[in-house]
Chains A and B, each alone.
Chain A
Amino acid sequence: MSQPLLKLDQATIRFGGLTAVSKFNLEVQPCELIGLIGPNGAGKTTAFNMITGVYQPTDGHIHLNGRSIAGVKPHDLTRQGIARTFQNIRLFGSLSVIDNVRAAMQLHCKHGMRAALWRGAIFKSLEKKVEIQAMELLDIFSLGSVRDEEAKSLPYGDQRRLEIVRALATRPKLLLLDEPAAGMNPTEKEELMHLIRFIKDKFQIAVMLVEHDMTVVMGICERIAVLEYGIKIAEGSPQFIQRDPKVIAAYLGTETEKEEPANA
C-alpha cells in the first residue's frame, strides 16, 4: 500500500482530567472518502481540531505525507494541504462571495503587500488570474451568479456550499467536512452526497467527514471510523460498521447492557 496521506498514531488529547480523544489510530489514503461518526461528545470535532492544528495532541503523533505536524500552526497546515469547514458555518461574513474565495487563495499568490501597493502590470494580470480561478470554482458550485453578494446574506445551503468552495480554494489534498449535512432537508442531503462524491472525483482529493446523519455517511463513505468517549470502537466499510454490535450499542445504548446480566 502506498504511503498514507494522513496518519494518526496513538493520538491522544486531554483537557485537564478529561481524555477527549484517546490513542486514536487512523490512516487516510490519498483520494479516499472516509467518515468519522460517533454519538454526541464522542470527540469527533476534537479529532478534527487536532488534525488541523487547532489543538496539539497531548500524546501520540500525527503525520501528513510522512511528516510530523507537531507544533505546526493551522495556517501552515493549510499550506501543506489540509483544509476544513466548520460545524457552525464560519464564513467571512462581511466579504463578498468571491472575496471569500479570494481570501482563501492568497496563500498561493506570489504577489503580496508590495505588489498590492505598487499596482503594476504584473499585479493586475495576477489579480485577474485569481479572479478567473475564483470564478471557475464558484461556477462549478453554481455560486457564480451571487459573486458580489455579502456572504452572510446568502441562504443557509449556499453558505454551506460556499464554505466548501472556500476550503477547496486553498487547493487541499485532504478536505475535512465538519457536519456538512447539519440542518439540511432530505433533498439538500441528497444533493450534498452528490457534491461530496463529485469533489472527490473532480479534484482527486481525500475527503474526511464528521457527520451525524447516517444516510449521508453510509451512502457515500468508503470507510468509516467510529468514536465513542474518545476511543475508536470500530473501523471498516459501511456494511461492516452497520452490523457491528459495539457500534449499535454505542448508538442505541442499553441493549448490550441489558443482555449482559442475563448472560452472566
Chain B
Amino acid sequence: MSSPLSPATPTCAGAKRWLIAGIILAVVVSQFSAQFNRYHLGILVDIGINIILAVSLNLINGHTGQFSLGHAGFMAVGGYTAAKISLVASPMLPPALQPVIFLVALLAGGGLSAMTGLAVGVPSLRLRGDYLAIVTLGFGEIIRVVVQNMESVGAASGLKGIPKYTSLGWTFALAAITIYFVTALVNSTYGRGFIAVSDDEVAASSMGINPVRYKVTAFVTGAFFAGIAGGLYAHHKQFLSPTGFDFLKSIDIVVMVILGGMGRTAGVVVAAILLTLLPEVLRQFSEYRMIIYSLLIIVLMMARPQGLFTWKRKKGGAA
C-alpha cells in the first residue's frame, strides 16, 4: 500500500510528503499494469475504490459518530454523473484530452454528490442514531428508484459503453488523496471537533463547537469522495445498473468501517482490502462462497468487536 497508513502525530509532520509519494507510486506502478493479469488488475482497482468508500464513510460513521446508510446512494449520484459526462464529451473531443475529460467527470460527480449530501444532511442531521440511519437508507433507495426510471441514463437496463478510463494510477492516487484528506482533517485542533461531537454532542456544544456544522461538513466531505469512487467504478466496470447501488452496497461499506474500527483509518483501509479480497479468494468454494464470507465476518466481529486495529489510538490521539 502506498498511502500514509501509520497514525499521524497531531502535527502530522510530513503528511504531505506521504501523499505525494503515494500518488507518484500509484502512477508509476500503473505504467506496468499491462503486465498484470487482467483479473488481478480488476481486483486491485476494486480494492482502491473500496478504500475510498470506506475511508470517506469512516469520516461520517467513525470519526463524527453519525450512522449513515446512504453511501451507495452518493456513489450512484457520482457514478452516473461522471459516466454521463464522459459518454457525451469523449466522442466530441480528441483522445489526447481523455485525462481532462475524466478528471472533470470525476469532479463533477463528486461535486453533485456533495451537493446531494448537503441537501440530505442539513435537514436530517438533527436526527440521531437509528433515525438518521433510516433517513439515509430511504435516501439511497430514492436515488436508486429515480435512476431506475431515468431513460437518459439507461433506466433499469443500465448505462452501457462507458469509456474505460479508470486505471490503477487514477484509483490509488485518489485513494491516497482521500486518506490524506480525512487524516489531515481529523488530526488538527479543528478536526478534534469531529471526535468531540461523536463522543458527546451536548458537551461539544458547550465547548464552543457547533455540532451541526461539523456533522454537515463530515457528511458533505464523505459524499464527495463517495461520488468520486462512483465515477471510478463507472469507468472501471464500463457499465452501471441501478441494482448495483442498492442498500446492500451501503451495508458492505458500513461493515468495512465497523470491522476496521470506527474512526481508525488504518484499520478501515485494511478491512476494505480484506473484504474485497475475501469473496474472490472464496470463489473456489462456489456455492458456499457467501456462506463462508458471512461466517468469517461473524467470526472476525466476535474476535475483535472493537475493530481490527484498535490498539492504534493510544499515543497522541486518533489515526
Contacts and interface: CB of A to CB of B under 8 A. Distances in A.
Interface of A: 52, 54, 73-75, 78-79, 83-84, 86, 90-96, 99, 102-107, 109, 111-113, 115-117, 119, 123-124, 127-128, 130-131, 148, 166-167, 169-170
A75 B203 contact: no
Given A78-B207, A117-B185, 14 more contacts: A73-B210, A78-B206, A86-B202, A86-B203, A91-B199, A92-B196, A92-B200, A93-B200, A96-B317, A102-B189, A102-B192, A109-B189, A113-B185, A116-B184
Contacts of B189: 102-103, 105-106, 109, 111, 116, 127, 130
Nearest to B185: A116
Interface residues of B, number: 39
B209 interface: yes
Chain A CB count within 10 A is highest, among B13, B200, B203, B315, for B203
Contacts of B199: 91-95
Nearest to B16: A119
A166 B203 CA distance: 10
B190 A113 contact: yes
Chain B CB count within 10 A is highest, among A91, A127, A130, for A127
B208 A131 contact: no
A119 B184 contact: yes
Contacts of A93: 199-200
Nearest to B8: A119
Sorted nearest first, the 6 A-B pairs with minimum C-beta distance are A107-B208, A116-B188, A78-B208, A90-B203, A92-B199, A103-B192
Contact of B209 (A83, A107, A117, A130): A107
Contact of A83 (B11, B181, B206, B211): B206
Chain A CB count within 10 A is highest, among B188, B200, B205, for B188
Interface in B32-91: none
Contacts of A117: 181, 184-185
A90 to B, nearest CB: 4
A103 B207 contact: yes
B113 interface: no
Chain A CB count within 10 A is highest, among B205, B263, B316, for B205
A167 B192 CA distance: 16
Contacts of A107: 207-209
A123 B185 CA distance: 12
A119 B248 CA distance: 37
Chain A CB count within 10 A is highest, among B181, B184, B207, B317, for B207
19 contacts: A74-B206, A75-B211, A78-B208, A90-B200, A92-B200, A95-B318, A99-B10, A99-B192, A99-B317, A102-B192, A103-B193, A104-B207, A111-B188, A116-B184, A117-B181, A117-B184, A127-B11, A131-B11, A148-B315
Contact of A96 (B12, B196, B316): B316
B204 interface: yes
B317 A103 contact: no
Nearest to A172: B208
B15 interface: yes
A135 B206 CA distance: 21
Contacts of B207: 75, 78, 83, 103-104, 107, 166-167, 169-170
Contacts of B316: 96, 148
Given A112-B190, A116-B184, A148-B316, A103 B209 contact: yes
Contacts of B315: 148
Contacts of B313: 94
A167 B209 CA distance: 12
Interface in B1-20: 10-13, 15-16
Contacts of A112: 190
Contacts of A111: 188-190
B163 to A, nearest CB: 31
B208 A75 contact: yes
A95 B202 CA distance: 16
A128 B206 contact: no
